[in-house]
Amino acid sequence: MTLTWTDWQATAVPLILALGAVAVLLIDGFWSTGSKRLKHTVITLITAAVIVFGLIFVIARRQAYLPAFCRPDVEGPAQCSLVVEPLTIGLWAVLLIGGLGVVGLSSYRLLSADIPVGEYHFLLLSALVGATVLAGARDLATVVIALEVVSLPSFAMVALRRDRSGSEAALKAFLVSVLSTAVMLFGISYLYGVTGSLYLQTIATRLPGIDPDLRRVAFAAGLFVIVGFGFKIAAVPFHGWLPDTYSGAPVEVTAFLAVVSKSAGVAGLLVLVTFGVAPSGSDLRLVVAILAAVTMTVGNLAALRQVEAVRLLAWSSIGQVGFLLAPLAVGDAQAVVGYLAAYVVVTLGAFGAVAVVQRHRPFGLLLKDYRGMVRSEPGLAIALIFFLVVLAGLPPGLAGLFTKFAAFQAVIDAHYGWLALVMAVNVMIGLAVYLRWVAELFRLPADDPFSVDIESPAVAVISTCVAAAAVVSILPSALFALAT
């Protein structure tokens, strides 16, 4: 296969991220003398620079259509392994913004001293390479490889602190990932058997016309592929690994898992459902709808019982995945990307606030440890309240309200009234989840009010998230324009 200029343009973002990862690893390996703070600063700036380059490319090519690694198909249009189009560009924007925010939260004062800086940034960039490829993948082999490039560095990041809790969390996530990959490959092998192709466009074209005796095989194969992704995004009942992994990992890594890794999984599933294994009218879309209903209900109900901040956000993220799966089940990519963008911004900000508290307040793990924060740290408390309100979908957090409304509209237009009813019930449960934390911020503390030393990078990230959430609350069309 001869590489064309279009191929190089389509792979520009993953390629520059991969080169950045190699550069970071080399600098870390050969920098043996001098200030550790300077070394950390240089590595952080390189990581941020390559991500910013990716964002510049996204802005410059936001209306581009770049099919890459294509071969002519004798039965129809060209078959391509990677396609950069407006949907891909929108997903890249979400992933890169999330990655840049995590880099900001991991700046030299916030990142724990016991986490190796070079390895951390190398793994972060490597996972972003897989995430960006996954968002543009258009054949099943590329999907699987990209998903593993996301997953394996993420598990390594969980264990970077090299303590017992981190190692257990990483091992649990790794074993679940191996199982999910095996299930997915089993389904892919049968899909290839019944359709004769790994290209999503060709699979979607051939599935409606296959022999009736093979349709059950195709349905089971697609189901296995969706189940494999269900493990990756922690959809119920494949979610058991997530709460322990989130609580066992360093909080910066937890933010990465919640923002970038989960967004990559949703992006991959969106690509699969929209372009390949579940074309419009497929029974697999009903399976995704059922998965959405169960996931949001279990996630929100479990979040009601949590007393730790990180575990509450972990279960909350499971509930939010359910809301993401609802419009995905009916093929509304615009609603999915808009919801995902709002989720990334506010979740990143919420984890930034939690990271600051845990870094500077002993035993700052429980919700009750946040009591009195409105009086002692009003700026940080107001920012956290705003993020929680957006997640709940309450004014003034209109970004959450508009994205939930778009999800409702997509489901109702597809005549899934029962799913809309489940979503309405879960919105009420979600209010109780987030307002319970907000109430703790206003309560009088049992001891003296605490204060924290908020570092400048953390202030920048949290303030940017607040500003972005406020802007999209006023101009919600900016969210839904990402996928058009």
Q: What percent of the chain has pLDDT above 70?
A: 93
pLDDT given at position 249: 83
**Model confidence pLDDT, tens digit, residues 289-311:** 999 999 999 999 999 988 888 89
Helices and strands, counts by H and E, the chain: 21, 2
Q: What is the identity of the amino acid at 161?
A: R
pLDDT given at position 472: 87
**Model confidence pLDDT, tens digit, residues 29-53:** 888 777 777 888 889 999 999 999 9
The position carrying tokens 């909350």 is 316
pLDDT given at position 93: 93
Q: What percent of the chain has pLDDT above 90?
A: 38
Of these ranges, 76-85, 135-144, 168-177, the one predicted with the greatest mean pLDDT is 135-144
pLDDT given at position 13: 94
Tokens of 335: 């609603």
**Model confidence pLDDT, tens digit, residues 214-223:** 888 888 998 9
pLDDT given at position 239: 81
For the chain, domain boundaries: 280-484
Q: What is the identity of the amino acid at 34?
A: G
3-state secondary structure 201-252: HHHHHHHHHCCHHHHHHHHHHHHHHHHHHHHHHCCCCCCCCHHHHHHHCCHH
Any alpha helices (H) in 361-377, and if so which ranges? 373-376
| pTM for this predicted structure | 0.92
3-state secondary structure 85-127: CHHHHHHHHHHHHHHHHHHHHCCCCCCCCCCCHHHHHHHHHHH
> Among residues 430, 166, 150, 421, which one has the least CA distance to residue 317?
430
**pLDDT over 80 at 449, yes or no:** no
| Cα–Cα distance measured from residue 1 to residue 277, given in angstroms and rounded to the nearest whole number | 27
Counted residue by residue, the chain has a size of 484
**Model confidence pLDDT, tens digit, residues 347-386:** 999 998 888 887 766 566 788 888 878 887 888 889 999 9
**Model confidence pLDDT, tens digit, residues 455-473:** 677 888 888 999 999 988 8
Q: What is the identity of the amino acid at 343?
A: Y
Determine which of 2-11, 86-95, 129-138, 380-389 has the lowest per-residue pLDDT on average.
2-11
The position carrying tokens 């091992």 is 171
> Among residues 169, 93, 73, 140, which one has the least CA distance to residue 345?
93
Distance from the first to the final alpha carbon of the chain: 31
